[in-house]
Amino acid sequence: MSPGTGGPAPREVVVIEAGRTEGRYWRDLWRYRELFYVMAWRDVVIRYKQAAFGVAWAVLRPLLTMAAFAFVFGRIARLPSDGVPYPLFVLAAMLPWQLFSGSISDGSLVLVTNANVVSKTYFPRMVLPASSVAVNLFDLGVSLGLLAALMGWYRFAPGAGLFLLPLALLPLVALALGGALLLSALTARYRDFRYAVPFLVQFWLYVSPVGYGLDAVPARYRGLFQANPLAPLLEGVRSCILGRPLPGGWVAYAAACVSAGAALAVGVAYFRRVERGFADVI
Amino acid sequence: MGAAIRVEGLGKRYTIAHPLQDGRYRTLRESLTRGVASLFRPRASDEEFWALRGVGFEVPRGQRIGIIGRNGAGKSTLLKLLSRITDPSEGRLTLEGRVASLLEVGTGFHPELTGRENVFLNGAILGMSRAEVRAKFDAIVAFGEVERFLDTPVKRYSSGMYTRLAFSVAAHLDPDVLVVDEVLAVGDAAFQRKCLEKMEDVNASGRTVVFVSHQLAAVRRLCNRCLVLEGGHLALDSTDVDAAIGAYLRGDGAQEAVWEGTPAGAPSFAPRRLALTLDDGTPLRGAAPVSSRIRVELDAEVADPDPSLVAGLAVFDEAGELLFVSHFTDGPERDWPRVEPGMLRLACALPGGLLNEGAYRVEVVAELRCRESILEPGRSPAAVWLRLSGGLSESPYWVSRRPGILAPRLEWRGRLPG
């Protein structure tokens, strides 16, 4: 039970003053964690209820994209995959990519689609973009089952690096949450942002090592590719899953982690600055 | 100590940018071009508007306070501030204890989810923990009378079932301070009564309640203090609820019975003005005699005409009971006013000697027939109060209000024997 629910507990006092953001924001956020679980649970239930194929949809989407990428990059372009079956090679980066892209595309719309709830109740608005990320983490879990099945099919044994997967996902989640916060706030304020996000996602996919490996990028462009913080992070996840050395080196990886942290900080800061006005603009 | 709510110099300012000119939402492109333009000349297009200003009051714990006022008086803004949905532009607000606000029943209800799932969802949105919802689950379901349909998606519920379930979740909230909007305007009369009783229970347990309503009878029944808002200011604050309501109705009547709209409705029908006049065309001020015919003028903007538009008036009594609905399409089709893009100007008259003495709320209602509701009876912001007093009859026996809602004068005569 949260404090303030019971009778004997001391009543909490909230003071709201014009032009001053109140100090208890993070405590409030913690108190509303149940709402966060429920919102994430709602979106998961609805997603799997509504889709015609139910859970099959969560498997089919990465599977078909993976098949197309594996064919185009593996068979037609004949890019290297370090001896790993190309479909596995693609899928190992496709899953974290979908975590990221799903989080920012769902997240960008989450305030608008929940406008009714936002304009009728109080809660820390951060709950909503955070639940978008949580739903995509759930999808990732489902897709990991697909990956395991594919590994069985190819008789491919993952290395001990697999245990590092949660750690490798951490900066990716930070980047996804930062992006979701920033884009949700921008979309709430500027409605035309919702048209920009699908393009942003598509463009980002092309410049990120999902269908191809960072190794396949000619050396003189590699620095440019690694400036994209997503590139080392996706390669990091792929390396964990496939148990191979990290391409691109640790310096680039560390820099990407720092960028992800910075993205989260910027997302939180911007979101908090405009959050209080959401109910007035939505 | 002792005050559950303390409001000091509270004000809320809204900025109105191009009203309805290019859609309701700001776009980035627009903001950028405006930003650049403002480097060269000061921005004049934005208009500032205080929805609420200089409001101060204190609510001791356990008091039930009713807030009434005309449309645009600042009731909803005050409610949004109290429930922390929006932030004040000036002043200070202190809340002690757990505050739950109920601005709408069924906030966040999802049509695809079952009744059971929606109870947990809605409970969380209203600030209940899962343990709390679980503990009260059976009571919620029993109160809402939907036991048999718990595992049916709510999209298959009738609107009555939907409302009952939604309200019963809300009714089982257990906060220190409960902020309630016009939620009782939904549901059938029997369920409304049940809700009022439930809220009286809530009161009995010493909870602080802030209640905003057009249903003056509900305010009278539930509250032991009444605030009257007028033009964003606190006009009256009294623990004599009857007196406050009476003063509100009189004060309200002294002004012209005209509503001139903040945007409401839809592109197919957006009311702009609703005015009551006497038969000779003079604006109605104060109370009209029961015997007089009241003319109604209704202007609405039609941007996108729809052949299935049905619009007109709904008249409620002081208790919020719907008395009747009248539409411009009530006559034979050849007599209907043409609906074309532009301003649709409608007129009708309320016959004299129909309604009894009292206060009546005349609302603009509209719908696309069998398709979509635009302004639902009881939820329409486009409304005026009609006050009727005197003019009952020339009879020496008929000197004051008769029992009943209607006051028709039937023609009595003696019959010849045989």
Residue B361, pLDDT > 60, answer yes
Residue A177's CB is within 10 A of a number of other CB atoms, namely 24
Residue A223: Cβ within 10 Å count: 11
Label residue B390 left, alpha or beta by phi (over 0 means left) and psi (-120 to 50 means alpha). Answer: left
- 3-state DSSP call for residue A155? coil
Residues from A contacting B (CB-CB < 8 Å) are 1-2, 4-5, 11-19, 32, 34-35, 37-39, 42, 45-46, 49-50, 114, 116-123, 186, 189-193, 276-277, 279-281
* pLDDT higher at B1 or B72: B72
Of B48 and B306, which is predicted with more confidence? B306
| B50 CA: distance to closest CA in chain A (Å) | 14
CA distance B90 to chain A (A): 5
CB nearest B110 (choices: A1, A4, A42): A42
In the predicted structure, residue B213 carries a pLDDT above the cut 60? yes
The band of A6, judged by pLDDT with boundaries at 50, 70 and 90, is very low
For residues B395 and B28, the model is more confident at B395
State residue A182's pLDDT score: 96
How many whole angstroms separate alpha carbon A71 and alpha carbon A50? 31
Residues B83 and B212 sit within 8 Å (Cβ to Cβ):
no
User: Sorting pLDDT into bands at 50, 70 and 90, what band is A51?
Assistant: low
Taking only the tens place, the pLDDT of each residue in B117-147 is: 999 999 998 888 889 999 999 999 988 888 8
Pairwise pLDDT comparison (B79 vs A6), residue with the higher score: B79
What ipTM was reported for this prediction? 0.82
How far does Cα A2 stand from its chain's mean position?
29
Find, in chain B, the residue whose alpha carbon is nearest to that of A11: B97
Place B341 in a pLDDT band, splitting at 50, 70 and 90: very high
Considering only alpha carbons, which residue of chain B is nearest residue A277? B86
Chain B hits for A50, Cβ within 8 Å: 112
Q: B27 pLDDT band (50/70/90 cuts)?
A: low
Best B12, B22, B25 member to test A by mutation, with max A CBs in 10 Å, is B25
B20 pLDDT more than 50: no
Residue A1's pLDDT band, with cuts at 50, 70 and 90, is very low
Interface touch A280/B83, C-beta < 8 Å: no
Whether residue B58 lies within 8 A of chain A, CB to CB, comes out as: no
Q: Mean pLDDT, to the nearest integer, of A22-34?
A: 80
**Per-residue DSSP letter, A164:** G
**What percent of chain A has a predicted confidence (pLDDT) above 90?**
50
DSSP state of A246: P
Mark yes or no for CB contact A49/B112 under 8 Å: yes
Looking at the DSSP bridge assignments, the partners of residue B47 are B16
Q: Say how far apart CA B255 and CA B234 lie, in whole Å.
A: 17
Considering only CB atoms, which chain B residues are within 8 Å of A190?
26-28, 31
Confidence of residue B383 (pLDDT cuts 50, 70, 90): confident
- E strands along A31-142, which residues? none
Q: What is the mean pLDDT of residues A5-34?
A: 72
* Residue A42 phi, psi dihedral angles, 5° rounding: -60, -45
Distance, in angstroms, between B215 CA and closest chain A CA? 21
Q: Determine the Cα–Cα distance for residues A204 and A228; give it in Å rounded to an integer.
A: 9
- What is residue A3's predicted lDDT score, i.e. its pLDDT? 40
Cα B37 to Cα A14: distance, rounded to the nearest angstrom: 41
Return phi, psi of residue B259, to 5°. -115, 130
Q: Is B171 in the A-facing interface, judged by CB distances under 8 Å? A: no
CA neighbours closer than 13 Å in the CB half-sphere of residue B23: 9
Interface of B with A in 366-385 (CB under 8 A): none
Alpha carbon distance A21, A276 (integer Å):
9
What band does A2 get if pLDDT is binned at 50, 70 and 90?
very low
Question: How far apart are the CA of A192 and the nearest CA of chain B, in angstroms?
Answer: 6
**Most confident range, picked from B218-232, B329-343, B387-401:** B329-343
Q: pLDDT per residue over B260-278, tens digit each?
A: 876 678 889 999 999 999 8
Which candidate, B147, B177, B175, places its Cα nearest to that of B161? Answer: B147
Q: What pLDDT does residue B32 have?
A: 66
Give the pLDDT of residue B305. 92
What Cα–Cα distance (Å) separates residue A281 from each residue in A188, B197, B266? 7, 37, 19
Beta carbons of B181 and B204 less than 8 angstroms apart: no
Rounded to an integer, the average pLDDT of A45-66 is 78
Classified as helix, coil or strand, A227 is: coil
- Evaluate if residue A8 carries a pLDDT over 60: no
Residue B297 tokens read as: 């003028």
Average pLDDT (B279-297) is 87
- H/E stretch holding B144: helix B130-144
Q: Which residues of B312-343 are buried (b: 16+ CB within 10 A; e: fewer)?
A: bbbbbbbebebeeeebbbeeeeeeeeebeeee
User: pLDDT confidence of A264, banded at 50, 70, 90?
Assistant: very high
Q: Identify the CA nearest to A214 among candidates A82, A124, A20.
A: A82
Span A162-194, pLDDT tens digits: 889 999 999 999 999 999 999 999 998 888 888
Taking an 8 Å cut-off on Cβ atoms, the answer to whether A1 and B129 are in contact is yes
Q: What would the pLDDT profile of B63-99 be if each residue is shown by its tens digit?
A: 889 998 877 788 889 999 998 888 898 899 999 888 8
Return the minimum-mean-pLDDT range out of A61-75, B79-93, B165-179, B248-262: B248-262
pLDDT band at B23 (very low <50, low <70, confident <90, very high): very low
| Helix and strand counts by DSSP (H, E) for chain B | 8, 18
- Residue (of B59, B97, B340, B400) closest to B211 by Cα position: B59
Distance from CA of B321 to the nearest CA of A (A): 26
Least confident of A8-12, B88-92, B166-170, B195-199: A8-12
- Flag if A5 and B132 touch (Cβ within 8 Å): yes
Burial of B90 (0-12, 13-18, 19+ CB in 10 A): middle
Kindly state the percentage of chain B with pLDDT values over 90: 26
Query: How much is the mean pLDDT over chain B?
Result: 83
The residue length of chain B stands at 418
B364/B383 Cα distance (integer angstroms): 6
Residue type, A154: Y
Q: Does the beta-carbon distance from B103 to A120 stay under 8 Å?
A: yes
pLDDT for position A23: 65
Neighbouring-strand partners of residue B93: A16, B7
State phi, psi for B315 to the nearest 5 degrees: -115, 125
**Per the CB < 8 Å rule, is A45 touching B117?**
yes
Torsion sign across C-alpha atoms A36, A185, A252, A135 = positive
* Structure-model confidence comparison of residues B123 and B187, the more confident one: B123
Give yes or no for residue A230 having a pLDDT over 90: yes
pLDDT at B44: 47
